[in-house]
Amino acid sequence: MPKKENKYKITVALFFIWAYIRKYRLVLFILLSTIIIIALADVFTPFLLGKIVDSFLSKTLILGFTWPTIIIIWIIVTLIKIAAGRVRSRISVWLEVSAEKDLVQDLVSKIFIVPIKYHHNRKPGEILKKIDRAVNAIDLMIDSLIYAFISNLFSIAMALVIIISIKWEISLINFLILLLFFFFSIKFRLKNILQLRKKINVLYDKISGYIGDFIANIFTIKVNTTEKQEMKRLDADYSKTLDFIDRQMKLWTQVNAGQGIITNTGIILTVILGSYYLLQGQISPGQFTMLVAFIPLIYQPIWWMADQYRGLKRMSVDIYGAQKILNLKSEPVLMLEKPATEITGKIEFKNVDFKYPERNQGVLQHVSFKVQAGQTLAIFGETGSGKTTIYNLLLRLYDQDGGKILFDDFDSRELKRESIRSQIAVVPQDPSLFNESILDNIRYGRQNASMAEVIAAAKIANAHNFIMQLPKDYQTKVGERGVKLSGGQVQRIAIARAALRNPKILILDEATSSLDPKTKFEVLGALRNLIAGRTTIIITHDFSAITQSADNIIVLDKGKIVQQGTHHKLVSAPGIYKDYWQVQQSHLLEK
């Protein structure tokens, strides 16, 4: 990571870009070759124009060529320029897309392996905006640097060289004007403009985060009639953004005015000095024509180049967001980690301690328990007691602060995360379905599963019958997060997905708590089918039939195990479990 004061330097951004285009050196070489060809063709036209003027006045042939030959050469040069332009356009787009693909893959790969707390602290829209802005920036930087900046720089250099051959004093004056122009362009107000750009980016990230939240929580917004409130919040941030953009544009106006004064001074001096030398007979009419014709090849490109430079500086701000993502620390990997062989499902917690950073809920203190392969453990407790923390630790979404978690007597921190997770399936309270077909959603945990295996998993989940009644059965699209299905149907799709993985360990996280009694009964039947023969962890505060039939139940309170035993044992002894059991029974009697 570069030092703070250097983080927006163009050199940092250029090295970043080079990392993504250096493996395409051959393509880059061809692209630069076309740029040089086009620049030479651009310079050839005013040069030839000046020679034609002198030829008409002196009645001598140009460079010893006949007029038909000169016309043929001009046509050939024009055709070569057109062909080179087409090649340049196609290759530059190919290079941009290839670099973009590599950057996106790197960013997404990094997002997959950063600790889960990174995602807990950010809205998906913010991350998406950073990626989108970085991708746009790398496209523009490649386009600006190779397609425009280098091309224009070469054209200016060639024009100045030819002007030196005409009158070195005029070339020197234009060179000094160019230096003044660039010094002014990269210094005047640019620091203030970049500071505003950073503030604008922060606000756009915030706005994208809001929009992502709006879409994800559209149901909540509608039922709480908060549309106007959310629009006001969005409008307030856009007003701040527009204010910063307006301030930025005022600074650009000042910069452009200064640039205009400098370039017009150069043009006027070139014409005046050229006219003087023409009258003095020091240059020919054709050479004067060249000087005038070369003016657009010098002063139009420097405007473009100055814009490109400032664009590169702006893009370096945008790319910094991508660099921050790529420099994030991945999930910590210990040197001794190894793939887990197929486990039987035996689990043990030994004096496990854990505390979330900047959070007091979900703390675990000296938690110990065992689950034999094929057994069912129910974890009971109030919200914030540490139930979900246990399943986060089992999946190694977090690592414990103290103690040990064992799978078949192997320390979990000695096993690779993906190896552990590949043998665990989770059925959460609110399953996430992709806006794809039911088939794709069930297969998500095992992409290569056959149709027969998918149907078998759906039957285990008691889902096959309702799926076959849908308009396109297994090809039916479920909508965003499964919005086209009922809660029970979504839950059974999630159960089918878990069944298809054929896991050794199954985690049920409040899998039935949000369902109505009839739907809960249907889902419980599917869960019984899924639990059979597997090590199962049931995280719940609900006294379902599955919970009551668990081999062991532990009761958590403020991160500690305060009770442990079977359902029969716990309802027979005073404690939290019995108290909540009696409350539930009284509610059932009232109904």
**Helix, strand or coil, per DSSP, at residue 2:** coil
Distance linking the first and last C-alpha atoms of the chain = 63
Residue 123 pLDDT grade (very low, low, confident, very high; cuts 50, 70, 90): low
Mean pLDDT of the region 169-174: 86
pLDDT of residue 192: 81
pLDDT of residue 349: 92
Binning the chain into helix, strand and coil, the percentages to the nearest 5 are: 65, 10, 25
pLDDT of residue 189: 77
Could you tell me the CA-to-CA distances from 82 to 41, 42, 87, 153, 401 in Å, in that order? 10, 11, 9, 20, 66
Q: Does residue 281 register a pLDDT over 80? A: yes
Q: Does residue 68 register a pLDDT over 60? A: yes
Report the chain's C-alpha Rg in angstroms: 35
Closest of 330, 310, 325, 312 to residue 12, by C-alpha: 312
Residues 98/101/105/106 CA torsion (nearest 10 deg): 60
Q: Does residue 2 register a pLDDT over 50? A: no
Maximum CA extent, the chain: 120
**Distance separating alpha carbons of residues 464 and 351, to the nearest angstrom:** 43
Closest of 389, 374, 497, 391 to residue 438, by C-alpha: 497
Instruction: Quote the tokens at residue 589.
Output: 């009697």
Q: For residue 165, how many other CB atoms are within 10 A of its CB? A: 11
pLDDT of residue 89: 79
Q: Does residue 332 register a pLDDT over 70? A: no
Structure-token match 């690592």, residue found: 399
Q: Bigger pLDDT: 7 or 126?
A: 126
Query: Taking a C-beta distance cutoff of 8 angstroms, is the pair 99, 21 a contact?
Result: yes
DSSP H helices in 445-485 = 451-460, 464-468
Treating both helix axes as pointing N-terminal to C-terminal, what angle do 151-166 and 285-326 enclose, rounded to 10 degrees?
150
Query: Taking a C-beta distance cutoff of 8 angstroms, is the pair 430, 440 a contact?
Result: no
pLDDT per residue over 5-31, tens digit each? 445 566 777 788 788 888 888 888 888
Mean pLDDT of the region 415-444: 83
Could you tell me the CA-to-CA distances from 176 to 146, 170, 262, 265, 498 in Å, in that order? 25, 10, 11, 11, 72
Burial of 342 (0-12, 13-18, 19+ CB in 10 A): exposed
Treating both helix axes as pointing N-terminal to C-terminal, what angle do 517-531 and 487-501 enclose, rounded to 10 degrees?
0
Any idea what DSSP says for residue 305?
A: H
Mean pLDDT of the region 338-351: 79
Instruction: Quote the tokens at residue 104.
Output: 């996106």
Q: Bigger pLDDT: 383 or 456?
A: 456
Closest of 80, 98, 102, 78 to residue 90, by C-alpha: 98
Mean pLDDT of the region 93-105: 83
Domains of the chain, CATH where assigned: 9-326 (1.20.1560.10), 341-423+545-591 (3.40.50.300)
**In sequence order, which residues have a C-beta less than 8 Å from that of residue 111 and are 6 or more positions away?**
119, 127, 325
The pLDDT > 90 percentage for the chain reads 1
pLDDT per residue over 266-275, tens digit each? 888 888 888 8
Q: For the chain, give the mean pLDDT.
A: 79
Structure-token match 């029974």, residue found: 585
Residues recorded for the chain: 591
Lowest mean pLDDT among 234-238, 271-275, 367-371, 523-527: 523-527
Q: Bigger pLDDT: 518 or 451?
A: 451
Closest of 153, 161, 135, 124 to residue 46, by C-alpha: 161
pLDDT per residue over 250-265, tens digit each? 887 888 888 888 888 8
Range among 29-38, 311-320, 321-330, 475-484 with highest mean pLDDT value: 29-38
Which residues are bridge partners to 538 per DSSP?
A: 378, 508
Q: Does residue 125 register a pLDDT over 70? A: no
Range among 6-20, 80-94, 356-370, 505-519 with highest mean pLDDT value: 80-94
**Distance separating alpha carbons of residues 478 and 480, to the nearest angstrom:** 7
Mean pLDDT of the region 30-40: 84
Query: Taking a C-beta distance cutoff of 8 angstroms, is the pair 551, 376 a contact?
Result: yes
Task: Give the predicted TM-score (pTM) of the model.
Answer: 0.62
> 117-143 burial string, b = 16+ CB within 10 Å, else e?
eeeeeebebbbebbbebbbebbbbbbb
Could you tell me the CA-to-CA distances from 513 to 282, 429, 540, 571 in Å, in that order? 95, 7, 8, 21
pLDDT of residue 480: 67
pLDDT of residue 65: 67
Lowest mean pLDDT among 177-181, 234-238, 477-481, 560-564: 477-481
> 298-314 burial string, b = 16+ CB within 10 Å, else e?
bbebbbebbbbbbbbbb
Query: Taking a C-beta distance cutoff of 8 angstroms, is the pair 215, 297 a contact?
Result: no
